[in-house]
Structure 1
Amino acid sequence: MSLVKNSYRILIFKKLSCNSIDQFKAITLFKVMALVLLLIALSLTLLPYHYLINRQLIDDSFYEFTIAYNIGTGKGITIDGHLPTNGFQPAFVFLISPIFWLLKGDKYLAIRLIFLVHFVFYIAAAFLFAIIARKAFRGIIGYSEEFAFWCVFLLYLSNPEITSLHFNGLETGCLLFFYSMLWWYYQKTGLQRWRDYIIFGILLGLTILVRIDVVFLVIIISLFQFFHPSSIPFRIRLGRFLLIAGLALIISSPWWLYNLLVFGNFQPTSGLAQKLWAIDFPRVKTALQILINHLSPFNYSSLFWLPTKFVNYNYLVIFLDIFHLFLLIGGIFILLSNRHSLSLRLDLDKKYFRRSIIFGLLLAIFGLVLLLYYTLSSWALFFYHRYFCVFLLFGILLSGVITGILFTRYPKLVIYFFIAVTILISMKYIFTVIKSRIKPYVSPQLKLVQDFVPEREYVGAGQSGRLGYFRERTINLDGKVNFYALRCQDITWDHQKGMPEFLRKNNINWICDWRPFIVKYLGKDPIIYGWRLIKEDSGWYLYHYEGSQ
């Protein structure tokens, strides 16, 4: 029986070795396509300012830029140069703050350099994750290490969702890098020595500073090290637990203490402003949509233009949900159909494969905890794709394994597919460049304020990130970065009379925001409180206070 089994394996690998020439060609093409994608990503820094500011970067990223600007120019940890704030993730903000110091406060050029920082994390995360795949996929259905590396490297760089998260102005790309760093270090060392636990605990502490919800991952890993394996003496398991949890806590403790001592709460105001515990169907639906989207292999649907002007948007959403689910089910079916050849992998280099699986399971549990926590606690559905970004890594790994399976049978199809993806990304970028040159775009909010609000007067807004970065006399009203505004919020979005009083007390005579925020702050009829509509532009409303009736 053993002889037959071994003969079967030898025949399989002889058959697979015939693809070595195809693999060499594929690797060469993967390198070329990866270079093209890297050049496209790098050239984002050269796009016109109006595009970077109003299209590429999301509004919340400017909160971090403004705080980093104030730190870099010596004004302290503040959003307006005076009042302290904690509505940000600390590591990325402190990382980019020296840029403003070096540039002596040049806010425009700083944006280009911040994009360079994003690019470094982009290529570093792709590189580390490709190393993880190279070790984990070694020998799987004919994979050579070099093929596995360049395949996953290309898959990471070409994923539209990952690229978007890396270059949105926030800490998400940095977070993906640290996820990859933790996975790589666990795979490399297996945490065999006390030194490994010390370094790993420090890395976890730094990752908490990148995004504080990583504390859930620290708890999961620490408990795993305490309970597994139970055959290890109790004192050793306790030591592992204390080293990992203790060092992570010590490294991140300055941030926790700052939050508690200055603001009276461990959680930053950016989280508190969007917190509302509830079991809500739209949240559950959105969370499941994001989960399926992130896990789906080869999900390049966002590269295609969707004719929302001619087709009902809701129908398009349903179609995409079904398409993503089809991709995920199809990917799982391919894996199950090839489970016998995949099982050969278990006899090859067990060490790296086992470590990869263990940390992957811990990371998956962490992702599910985040899914449950944010679905129950946060009404900010538009940020779920960032909160659950850890699942994108599993989608890339699934894509990598399926690529290996398909390449052994249809090598030309795989190569043509990646060529097509690279061409689509290049065409989309060229279209973006042309559009940015022909049709400059400025945020209607910025334009309204610039046209009507005198420079010496204060203007308030819930969505105040972009506005506050370029205009000093801007007051955040939704509480993300303004602890004092947060205290007069009605988190259920019902009208709260405390906001008109807050506006009067702080001499804020102008508000420019979306209609839901206007209703939240001033009710459905703002004129009752003396606020008159000045102008509306593309969903943005500018109101001026002219005295209560």
Structure 2
Amino acid sequence: MTFLALSMILTKKITEQKKNLSRIFLFGFVLGLTVLARIDFMLIAVTVLFTLLFTGALSKKEFVLILIIIFFTVLPWLYFILITQGSIIPSSASVQTGFTSVEFSYRIDQFFYSMFSNYLPWLHSGQTQSIIIYLAALIFIGYLFRFQKVFVKKFFQIPVIKYWSTGIIIISAVYLAFASQPYFFFRYLSVNMLIAIPFLALLILNLLLNRSKKFKYTFISIVLFVFFINTGYYFHYPKQVTSLALRTAFLEENNFFNKKVGMAQSGISGYFFDNVINLDGKVNNNALNAIKVNYLYNYIARENISILIEWKEWFDNLPSSDLKRNWQISDNQIKDNKTLVMIKK
């Protein structure tokens, strides 16, 4: 996110024609670092560059030069991925890309919840309580439509905002269509903060302009109060990562040391237990190959995995008939209202 913000600042300089060769090199290098941070940000980088080219902010030579700089910035990493995985696309990206069997309503819910959350930074409701976010978002949109139409129009006429909004909208649409794990939308769509933060900052400044001191102090006090209340609530609300950490204690308490345990999100448990097998393909090339040809269940059977621990929605990726026939829900469960433990019959 830091590199994206730096790229936005440099984009602003370029749109103001405050550019020279060193700044062009710096812009290309920072965009390259952005792509290194997340390979999918290449889509944003290319979109922004094309908008700068078509609007005349960049010449064709400058456009090509920046692309070359980006390429050579990411080249060592691409080479490393190629020699270790046999592809320039890392497994962490390919395993989370593709059409999914997850029901459409769940995908849409996670998408809009995650999108709206960026514009409601003082409100944390937990991912299972998206109705709160929807109600707050509708009220906020209604307020903008009724009282701030001029401000919204002027904001999105700012060149740097217009160009980056285009890239962010495109990548958000790609996530909606192709991301195979909707429960990660909250993380993917955090890129919208690049627009949300300046939007909210300018909106608040516009709201406080020419107001009395009493109004300003009252408004600031309310914002601070809501912020600290929600911060306290957030830090005491179970996060997604909490359930991942609980798995290690669960494995130890149930003495699952000599049985093969399969998990998609295996990072924490796999660090402590050698019998944990990764099933999302991020650190297991055999699992990745099985996922690509839709043979993950066959891989689980071949590896003689006898325990499956994962978020409930992950099991939708496995054949329901095979699960019912060969697996059963364990009497012992991780009490996080999110994870399901199944054992082989």
TM-score relative to the length of structure 1: 0.52
Specify whether residues 448 and 525 from structure 1 end up closer, same or farther in structure 2 by C-alpha distance, changes over 3 A only: farther
* Deviation of 1:396 (Å): 2.2
Q: Do 2:4 and 2:31's aligned partners in 1 also have CA atoms closer than 8 Å?
A: no
Q: How does 1:130-529 map to 2 (within 5 A)?
A: 175=1, 177-188=2-13, 190=17, 192-229=19-56, 237-277=59-99, 280=104, 282-284=106-108, 286-294=110-118, 296=119, 299-302=121-124, 317-318=130-131, 320-336=133-149, 357-407=158-208, 408-428=210-230, 443-453=245-255, 455=257, 458-489=260-291, 496-501=297-302, 503-504=303-304, 508-517=305-314, 520=317
User: Tell me, which stretches of 5 or more residues in structure 2 are unaligned?
Assistant: none
Mapped to 2, the partners of 1:412 and 1:403 lie a distance apart of 15
Specify whether residues 259 and 338 from structure 1 end up closer, same or farther in structure 2 by C-alpha distance, changes over 3 A only: closer
Q: Do 2:95 and 2:281's aligned partners in 1 also have CA atoms closer than 8 Å?
A: yes
* Deviation of 1:215 (Å): 0.8
Mapped to 2, the partners of 1:527 and 1:221 lie a distance apart of 49
Mapped to 2, the partners of 1:521 and 1:473 lie a distance apart of 21
Q: How does 1:28-43 map to 2 (within 5 A)?
A: none
User: Tell me, which stretches of 5 or more residues in structure 1 are unaligned?
Assistant: 1-174, 231-235, 344-352
Look up the SS of the partner of 1:496 in the other structure. Answer: helix
Match of 1:241, as an amino acid? F
Mapped to 1, the partners of 2:46 and 2:299 lie a distance apart of 39
Look up the SS of the partner of 1:326 in the other structure. Answer: helix
Look up the SS of the partner of 1:388 in the other structure. Answer: helix
Mapped to 2, the partners of 1:222 and 1:420 lie a distance apart of 41
Look up the SS of the partner of 2:291 in the other structure. Answer: coil
* Deviation of 1:484 (Å): 1.3
Q: Do 1:259 and 1:265's aligned partners in 2 also have CA atoms closer than 8 Å?
A: yes
Q: What's the counterpart of residue 535 of structure 1?
A: 332
Mapped to 2, the partners of 1:444 and 1:257 lie a distance apart of 37
* Deviation of 1:543 (Å): 5.1
Q: Do 2:113 and 2:134's aligned partners in 1 also have CA atoms closer than 8 Å?
A: yes
Mapped to 1, the partners of 2:226 and 2:329 lie a distance apart of 48
Q: Do 1:499 and 1:522's aligned partners in 2 also have CA atoms closer than 8 Å?
A: no
Mapped to 2, the partners of 1:528 and 1:322 lie a distance apart of 42
Render the CA deviation track for 1:146-196: whole Å, top value 9, x for unaligned: xxxxxxxxxxxxxxxxxxxxxxxxxxxxx2x22221122333464521111
* Deviation of 1:322 (Å): 3.2
Match of 1:214, as an amino acid? F
Between 1:380-389 and 1:198-207, the stretch displaced more is 380-389
Q: Do 1:464 and 1:474's aligned partners in 2 also have CA atoms closer than 8 Å?
A: yes
User: Based on CA coordinates, which of the two structures has the bigger radius of gyration?
Assistant: 1
* Deviation of 1:457 (Å): 5.4
Mapped to 2, the partners of 1:448 and 1:418 lie a distance apart of 45
Specify whether residues 468 and 201 from structure 1 end up closer, same or farther in structure 2 by C-alpha distance, changes over 3 A only: same
Look up the SS of the partner of 1:253 in the other structure. Answer: helix
Identity score, percent: 18
Mapped to 2, the partners of 1:527 and 1:326 lie a distance apart of 45
TM-score relative to the length of structure 2: 0.79
Render the CA deviation track for 1:76-113: whole Å, top value 9, x for unaligned: xxxxxxxxxxxxxxxxxxxxxxxxxxxxxxxxxxxxxx
Count of residues in correspondence between the two structures: 335
Specify whether residues 486 and 330 from structure 1 end up closer, same or farther in structure 2 by C-alpha distance, changes over 3 A only: same
CA RMSD of aligned residues (A): 4.0
Bigger RCO of structures 1 and 2 (CA < 8 A, at least 6 apart): 1
Match of 1:426, as an amino acid? F
* Deviation of 1:491 (Å): 7.8
Specify whether residues 357 and 282 from structure 1 end up closer, same or farther in structure 2 by C-alpha distance, changes over 3 A only: same
Q: Do 2:327 and 2:342's aligned partners in 1 also have CA atoms closer than 8 Å?
A: no
Q: Do 1:459 and 1:473's aligned partners in 2 also have CA atoms closer than 8 Å?
A: yes
Look up the SS of the partner of 1:535 in the other structure. Answer: coil
* Deviation of 1:331 (Å): 2.9
Mapped to 1, the partners of 2:235 and 2:329 lie a distance apart of 40
Look up the SS of the partner of 2:207 in the other structure. Answer: helix
Match of 2:133, as an amino acid? L
